[in-house]
Structure 1
Amino acid sequence: MDPRELLRQAFPSYGPDWDAAIDAGVDVSLLEENLRLTPTERLEQLQRMTELYEALRPKGDSNDAADA
């Protein structure tokens, strides 16, 4: 079964923009999951992702905007 059809069955339609997002391939389950978090939990998640990015980024990478 098409993943978009599965998303339509699992999540209610919140209007044409929501449906268009599903049609465009957006995984709305991730939106729903993140909207269940408090703002503090979202910031904590962002901090963890930033730390992971920094840990995995090659050392000496000068493509950082802060270096510009």
Structure 2
Amino acid sequence: MDMRELLREAYPSYGPDWDAAIEAGVDVSLLEENLLLTPTERLEQLQRMTELYEALRPHAEQQDDETS
């Protein structure tokens, strides 16, 4: 059983756009999880991801940005 079939079984259809997203390979479980968060929790999550991205960027790339 592939991921699309598992998602179709686990999540009800919310209409043709939802079904098309699953067919396109979108992991709708992540959408469902994020919709359970409050707007504040979503912003906090975004902030943490931004901080992680900045921490993982190559050092040379950070220096290029600082001199621009």
The TM-score with structure 2 as length reference comes to 0.89
d(CA) in 1 for partners of 2:54, 2:32: 27
Structure-1 residue corresponding to 2:60: 60
d(CA) in 2 for partners of 1:3, 1:58: 33
Structure-1 residue corresponding to 2:29: 29
RMSD over aligned Cα atoms: 1.1
Spell out structure 1 runs of 4+ moving beyond 6 A: none
Q: Which amino acid aligns with 2:59?
A: K
Q: CA deviation at 1:50?
A: 0.3
Alignment of 1:1-68 (within 5 A): 1-61=1-61, 62=64, 67=68
d(CA) in 2 for partners of 1:16, 1:6: 17
Q: Which amino acid aligns with 2:35?
A: L
Determine what percentage of the aligned residue pairs are the same residue: 84
Q: Which amino acid aligns with 2:51?
A: E
Count, aligned residues: 64
Q: CA deviation at 1:59?
A: 1.5
The TM-score with structure 1 as length reference comes to 0.89
Q: Of Structure 1 and Structure 2, which has the larger fraction of its residues in helix?
A: 2
Stretches of structure 1 that go unaligned for 5 or more consecutive residues are none
